[in-house]
Structure 1
Amino acid sequence: MSELPLSIAQHYHDRTKYDPDTIASKSQGLDWDNQPVPFKDYKLGTTFDLKQYFQVESETFADESATLWWRRLSRLLLSSYGLTARIATMTETPTYLRAAPSAGGLYPAEVYLISRGTPFLSPGLYNYQPQTHSLLQFWESEVWQSLQSACFWHPILENTQLAIVISAVFYRSAWRYQDRAYRRIFLDTGHLLGNIELASALNDFRPHLIGGFQDEALNRLLYLDAKTEGAIAVIGLADLLDIKQNLPTGLTALPSAICTDFRADVPDGQLLNYFHQATQIDEEITRSRQKIDLLPKSDKYNFPFCLKVPTSTLPIDWGANLEGLENTIFKRRSTRAYTGENLTLSELKALLDFTYQPHHYIEQNLDKTPDYFDLNLIETFIAVSGVDGLEEGCYYYAPKAQELRQIRFKNFRRELHFLCLGQNLGRDAAAVLFHTADLKTAIAQYGDRVYRYLHMDAGHLGQRLNLAAIYLNLGVSGIAGFFDDRVNEVLGIPVDEAALYITTLGRAR
Structure 2
Amino acid sequence: MPELRQSIAQHYHERTKYDPQTIASKSKRLDWAKQPVPFKEYKIGSNFDLKPYIEEKLEDFTNNPEAQWWQRLSRLLFCSYGLTAKMPSMGSAVYLRAAPSAGGLYPAEVYLVSRGTQLLPSGLYNYQCRTHSLMHYWESDVWQALQKACFWHPALENTQLAIIVTAVFYRSAWRYEDRAYRRIFLDTGHLLGNIELASAVCDYRPHLIGGFVDEAVNELLYIDRQQEGAIAVVALADLFDIKQNLPTWRTALPSATETNYPEIPDGELLKYFHQATEIQAGTTGKLNLPEVKQEKSLEDKYNFPFCQKISTATTPISWGEKLEDLEITILKRRSTRAYNGDYLTFDELKALLDFTYQPQHYIDQNLDIAPDYFDLNLIETFIAVSGVEGLEAGCYYYAPKAQELRQIRFKNFRRELHFLCLGQDLGRDAAAILFHTADLKAAVAQYGDRVYRYLHMDAGHLGQKLNLAAIRLGLGVSGIGGFFDDQVNEVLGIPADEAVLYVTTLGKPR
Structure 1 position 127, deviation (Å): 0.2
* Pair 167,202 (structure 1): closer, same or farther in 2 beyond 3 Å: same
The C-alpha deviation readout for 1:466-508, integer Å capped at 9, x for no partner, is 0000000000000000000011112313332110000000000
The C-alpha deviation readout for 1:50-104, integer Å capped at 9, x for no partner, is 001111246767981110000000000000000000112332x311000000000
Alignment partner, residue 128 of structure 2? 129
Alignment partner, residue 380 of structure 1? 381
Alignment partner, residue 82 of structure 1? 82
Q: d(CA) in 1 for partners of 2:58 and 2:361? A: 33
The SS at the match of 2:368 is coil
Alignment partner, residue 272 of structure 2? 274
Alignment partner, residue 9 of structure 1? 9
Alignment partner, residue 396 of structure 1? 397
The SS at the match of 2:249 is coil
Q: d(CA) in 1 for partners of 2:284 and 2:31? A: 40
* Pair 304,20 (structure 1): closer, same or farther in 2 beyond 3 Å: closer
Alignment partner, residue 310 of structure 2? 309
Q: Is the 8 A contact 2:151 2:288 kept in 1?
A: no
Q: Is the 8 A contact 2:250 2:294 kept in 1?
A: no
Q: Is the 8 A contact 2:112 2:163 kept in 1?
A: yes
Alignment partner, residue 199 of structure 2? 200
Alignment partner, residue 230 of structure 1? 229
Q: d(CA) in 2 for partners of 1:107 and 1:413? A: 31
Alignment of 1:81-100 (within 5 A): 81-91=81-91, 93-100=92-99
The SS at the match of 2:250 is coil
CA RMSD of aligned residues (A): 1.5
* Pair 21,62 (structure 1): closer, same or farther in 2 beyond 3 Å: closer
Q: d(CA) in 2 for partners of 1:201 and 1:57? A: 18
The C-alpha deviation readout for 1:428-479, integer Å capped at 9, x for no partner, is 1000000000000000000000000000000000000000000000000000
* Pair 306,221 (structure 1): closer, same or farther in 2 beyond 3 Å: same
Alignment partner, residue 25 of structure 1? 25
Alignment of 1:295-374 (within 5 A): 296-297=296-297, 298-374=299-375
Alignment partner, residue 446 of structure 1? 447
Structure 1 position 407, deviation (Å): 0.6
The SS at the match of 1:88 is strand
Which range moved further: 156-165 or 490-499?
Answer: 490-499
Q: d(CA) in 2 for partners of 1:58 and 1:314? A: 30
The SS at the match of 2:405 is strand
Structure 1 position 229, deviation (Å): 0.5
Q: d(CA) in 2 for partners of 1:52 and 1:278? A: 43
The SS at the match of 1:233 is strand
Q: Is the 8 A contact 2:61 2:68 kept in 1?
A: no
Alignment of 1:53-64 (within 5 A): 53-57=53-57, 64=64
The C-alpha deviation readout for 1:309-351, integer Å capped at 9, x for no partner, is 0001110011111111110000000000011111010000000
The SS at the match of 1:448 is coil
Q: Is the 8 A contact 1:254 1:286 kept in 2?
A: no
The SS at the match of 1:432 is strand
Q: d(CA) in 2 for partners of 1:415 and 1:240? A: 48
Q: Is the 8 A contact 2:208 2:233 kept in 1?
A: yes
* Pair 57,351 (structure 1): closer, same or farther in 2 beyond 3 Å: closer
Whether 2:98 is the aligned partner of 1:102: answer: no
Q: d(CA) in 2 for partners of 1:115 and 1:224? A: 18
TM-score calculated relative to the size of structure 2 = 0.97
TM-score calculated relative to the size of structure 1 = 0.97
Q: d(CA) in 2 for partners of 1:311 and 1:444? A: 32
Structure 1 position 49, deviation (Å): 0.3
Alignment partner, residue 465 of structure 2? 464
* Pair 64,290 (structure 1): closer, same or farther in 2 beyond 3 Å: same
Amino acid at match of 1:424: D
Amino acid at match of 1:350: A
* Pair 286,346 (structure 1): closer, same or farther in 2 beyond 3 Å: farther
Q: d(CA) in 1 for partners of 2:282 and 2:376? A: 26
Q: d(CA) in 1 for partners of 2:5 and 2:78? A: 45
* Pair 428,60 (structure 1): closer, same or farther in 2 beyond 3 Å: closer
* Pair 288,304 (structure 1): closer, same or farther in 2 beyond 3 Å: closer
Gaps of 5+ in 1: none
Q: Is the 8 A contact 2:62 2:68 kept in 1?
A: no
Amino acid at match of 1:507: K
Alignment partner, residue 37 of structure 2? 37
Whether 2:141 is the aligned partner of 1:142: answer: yes
Q: Is the 8 A contact 1:380 1:396 kept in 2?
A: yes
Alignment of 1:170-185 (within 5 A): 170-185=169-184
Structure 1 position 156, deviation (Å): 0.4
Aligned length in residues: 507
The C-alpha deviation readout for 1:184-243, integer Å capped at 9, x for no partner, is 000000000000000000000000000000000000000010001100000000000000
Q: d(CA) in 2 for partners of 1:315 and 1:2? A: 52
Q: Is the 8 A contact 2:395 2:410 kept in 1?
A: yes
The SS at the match of 1:84 is strand
Structure 1 position 289, deviation (Å): 4.3
Q: Is the 8 A contact 1:344 1:388 kept in 2?
A: yes
Structure 1 position 5, deviation (Å): 2.8
* Pair 77,153 (structure 1): closer, same or farther in 2 beyond 3 Å: same
Structure 1 position 354, deviation (Å): 0.1
Amino acid at match of 1:397: Y
The C-alpha deviation readout for 1:158-191, integer Å capped at 9, x for no partner, is 0000000000000000000000000000000000
The SS at the match of 2:334 is coil
Structure 1 position 284, deviation (Å): 4.0
Q: Is the 8 A contact 1:378 1:458 kept in 2?
A: yes
Q: Is the 8 A contact 1:124 1:141 kept in 2?
A: yes
Structure 1 position 279, deviation (Å): 0.4
Q: d(CA) in 1 for partners of 2:69 and 2:423? A: 48
Q: d(CA) in 1 for partners of 2:2 and 2:281? A: 30
The SS at the match of 2:127 is strand
Q: d(CA) in 1 for partners of 2:59 and 2:402? A: 49
Q: d(CA) in 1 for partners of 2:7 and 2:62? A: 59
Q: d(CA) in 1 for partners of 2:484 and 2:167? A: 25
The SS at the match of 2:84 is strand
Whether 2:492 is the aligned partner of 1:491: answer: yes
* Pair 86,441 (structure 1): closer, same or farther in 2 beyond 3 Å: same
Alignment partner, residue 502 of structure 1? 503
Percent identical pairs in the alignment equals: 74
Q: d(CA) in 2 for partners of 1:416 and 1:189? A: 26
Whether 2:236 is the aligned partner of 1:247: answer: no
Gaps of 5+ in 2: none
